[in-house]
Amino acid sequence: MAYPGSFDHQSNVNPAQLTRGGQLNAAGDARALYLKLFSGEMFKGFQNNTIARDLVMKRTLKGGKSLQFVYTGRTTAEYHVPGQSILGNDQGAPPVAEKTITCDDLLISSAFVYELDEVLSHYDLRSEISRKIGYALAEKYDRLIFRQIAKGARQASPVAKANFVEPGGTQVRVGTNDALSDAYSATALINAFYDAAAAMDEKGVSQDGRVGVLNPRQYYALIQQTGDSGLINRDVQGAALQSGKGVIEIAGIKIYKSMNIPFLGNYGTKYGGATGVTSPGNTGDFVGSDTELEAATAAETGINNNYGAQAAFDTSCGLIFQREAAGCVEAISPQVQVTSGDVSVIYQGDVILGRLAMGADFLNPAACVELHTGTAGAAFGTTYPANAS
């Protein structure tokens, strides 16, 4: 019984919130996985390589909730008339517009590590949990940025003064019909890359920093398309094919693979007869079941930018962009915190917390290209929170 002014050390702990490293699938005996002798390697969870952070414009946010990016449009050239004063052009050029990126709320991933579990564990439980927390934050980071690039591909330029309208985003169809399987066709993808490169050239986008991001199935389809395509460096063709890193570039566009791009309404891969891709089975919850993309119809708590709802990505199947395509603002960069001292004594364990505070949005629509099958996705609105989560 707790008396006034006393501390009930059991009232603040919910056993269901404890991460018990000795339990099998978080159920049953809390020491089931603890061994007297370590008999082999520990299987680690699937790790996604995150790439978006280094491929777009990243800025640190200090002393404010949002960051302003300023656009300047084109201006004109004219011949001077002798005797006439030069006081600037009569059209007020170049036009100027702005884009503001707001920081979302604090994003966290955490786990409670019971001290006795650590003592009995035959592996480094704390470092393993910390690593998985980092993966969770990094995965979210990539997914938000990639969604904004797809959004930018569907937008007109913010600079829209009469006679000075700047170019907007580009959507390129993969294949020539409505088949979802075209998204995995190496020939169709190669043609789409050349179309995208030409479109960016025509819109004045710099060739420096152009990249493409595809899902793994698409990427490996391109690797197998050797022949006369020039996709594989002939000097390292054997090693490149075996390593899975053999695609150099198409039309000057360096290619990456990621399971974090929005792809036909899923993340990463879409299985089924319509796509021509058979599921390998036992895919877990990482492919095609993320509620953030699948069932988001209202604003997600903590989101302050419009990242588009699931239906907006039903035909999206790849991204091509230049680093000016999107911007990311960070108020708190990814970091890990661990409790200690009196807190550890009271709870006989530590909370491991990973956190970051960031926001992302498109910047230069002309630098954004979305690959799609069938009908191109419609532009999402800019009003929050209709399609925010």
pLDDT at 295: 35
What pLDDT digit, counting tens, does each position of 264-300 carry? 988 878 888 888 888 888 887 766 544 444 333 345 6
Strand order, beta sheet including 170-173: 170-173, 368-372, 316-322, 210-214, 253-257, 249-250
Average the pLDDT over 220-245 and give the result.
Answer: 59
Kindly indicate the confidence band of residue 28, based on its pLDDT and cuts at 50, 70 and 90: confident
Tell me the percentage of the chain whose pLDDT exceeds 90.
27
pLDDT top residue among 244 and 95:
95
pTM of the entire structure?
0.82
The larger pLDDT score, comparing residue 44 to residue 166, is at 166
CA 211 – CA 257 distance, rounded (Å): 11
The mean of the pLDDT values for the chain is 80
Residues whose CB is less than 8 angstroms from the CB of residue 267 and which lie 6 or more positions away in sequence, other chains included: 143, 259, 260, 261, 286, 287, 288, 290, 293
The residue with greater pLDDT, 131 or 146, is: 146
Share of the chain above pLDDT 70, in %: 79
Cα–Cα dist 56/181, whole Å: 29
Q: How far apart are the first and last CA of the chain?
A: 45
Residue-wise pLDDT for 314-366, tens only, equals 899 999 999 999 999 999 888 888 888 888 888 898 888 888 899 999 999 99
**pLDDT average, residue stretch 62-76:** 82
Confidence tier at 191 by pLDDT (50, 70, 90): very high
User: pLDDT value at position 204?
Assistant: 92
- pLDDT score, position 358: 92
Q: Angle at which helices 186-202 and 216-224 pack, to 10 degrees?
A: 100
d(CA 15, CA 115): 14
